[in-house]
Amino acid sequence: MQEAVHRLWPELDWIEDPDLRAKTARVWEYALEQSALEPEELEIIPFTLLTRKAVSFMAHKRSVVHICRESARLMREFYGDALPIDMDVLIAGAILIDVGKLLEYDKVDGKVVQGEAGRLLRHPFSGVGLAMRFDLPPSVLHMIAMHAKEGDTGQRTIEGIIVHHADFMTFEPFKTLA
């Protein structure tokens, strides 16, 4: 599974701290072991059913990580020390925000459907549960917990704000096509 995760996520190499990189990869490995989905299916299943245009789960998730990194790079360039951004935390969190979705699916007669965990437990919660097993730091757990609507009523960190917007700016435009 280790190889499969590195194939899915070449962006893991952007995490400089080896301990954080290994833990981030381990969460994905474990989630894939528990998932009804095979790693290859993540590159096929659509990330949203709002459009018939085929954008895969992985294409969307990887684009979010790239947008986070580029945004942070530009923010650092323009704002310097005035806005401290932890790049390792940002990338690890961006890779992990949707890992809980791997537990949301079931397979019925070979078809991918929403399972009980998907109906009853949204992925920010299951994602934090998965990441806690591997001792990810609170700064990363926070990003998973707060990236979606559940985080709207709280105060997000700088990295949490960046990943929230990267995630939504690449999701909401698809709604206009529905």
How far apart CA 90 and CA 103 sit, in angstroms, is 23
| C-alpha of 50 from chain center | 19
Residues 91-120 close enough to bind Fe ion by CB under 5 A: 98
Closer residue to Fe ion (CB): 92 or 148: 148
Smallest gap from Cβ 102 to Fe ion, in A, equals: 12
Closer residue to Fe ion (CB): 148 or 162: 148
How far apart CA 159 and CA 108 sit, in angstroms, is 38
Binding track over 119-158 against Fe ion, x by CB under 5 A: -----------------------------x----------
Smallest gap from Cβ 69 to Fe ion, in A, equals: 18
The site for Fe ion, by CB under 5 A, has a size of 2
User: CB-hemisphere CA count at 13 Å for 85?
Assistant: 25
Smallest gap from Cβ 171 to Fe ion, in A, equals: 8
Instruction: Note whether 29 binds Fe ion by CB under 5 A.
Output: no
Strands 105-108 and 111-114: antiparallel
How far apart CA 48 and CA 56 sit, in angstroms, is 8
How far apart CA 5 and CA 2 sit, in angstroms, is 5
Contact footprint for Fe ion (CB under 5 A): 98, 148
